[in-house]
Amino acid sequence: MAALTTQNQPKPDGTSKPDRTAKPERNPKQDRSRATRQRLLEAAVSCLAEHGWAGSTVAVVAERAGVSRGAAQHHFPTREDLFTAAVEYVAEERSQALRAVPADDREQAVAALVGLYTGPLFRAALHLWVAASGEEQLRERVTELEARVGRESHRVAVEVLGADESRPGVRETVQGLLDMARGLGLATLLTDDRARRERVVSQWARLVSEALSEH
């Protein structure tokens, strides 16, 4: 029996129909542009975490990413564009990774959420927040960014913990966990606080499990 559909089937006027099922062709130029943008964003976060705002310029980031300064400014016309985009990009990457944490392992989930505030992303964000406190041009953008990242962090925490925020006190428990994690992140900036942090995470995992358990 003849196939019901064929590629480029002739139309009544003798011309061929376009194959609407064919995949769009990849555009190497666009792929290179996306790859360059991603390298710049990742390099910006690393530079900010290591050198702070004062030591992180577009030229420094471009060199670290292996691209020209002109290419960097093509993607991000201003320094503020680059660093706010970088923090938001890496925060989203971390959020996606956190969603893979199994909700039935509360200690692993709590540890993963604390990890949001104890790595390079938190250091980079903190430098950006401090710089914004003294630079009016940066402050408004960072305030909006912090609000978006904060909402997303809370949303991911709810998912990872399997929390039902319709129950009284659950929302406050989740937010309290994130506030505690931020405090641990600040303590880690100056010293290696890993041993104490592990004990605190274990205790908080027990408290969170009790608070979120059905009664």
What whole-number distance in Å separates Cα of residue 6 and Cα of residue 68? 48
Query: Is residue 33 predicted with pLDDT exceeding 90?
Result: no
Confidence of residue 40 (pLDDT cuts 50, 70, 90): very high
What whole-number distance in Å separates Cα of residue 67 and Cα of residue 175? 40
Query: Is residue 23 predicted with pLDDT exceeding 70?
Result: no
80-97: pLDDT as tens digits: 899 989 888 878 887 777
Distance of CA 68 to the CA centre of its chain: 25
148-205: pLDDT as tens digits: 888 888 998 998 888 999 999 999 999 999 998 888 888 877 777 778 888 888 898 8
* Summary mean pLDDT of the chain: 82
- pLDDT, residue 61, reads 95
Q: Residue written as tokens 């303590």? A: 187
pTM above 0.75, yes or no: no
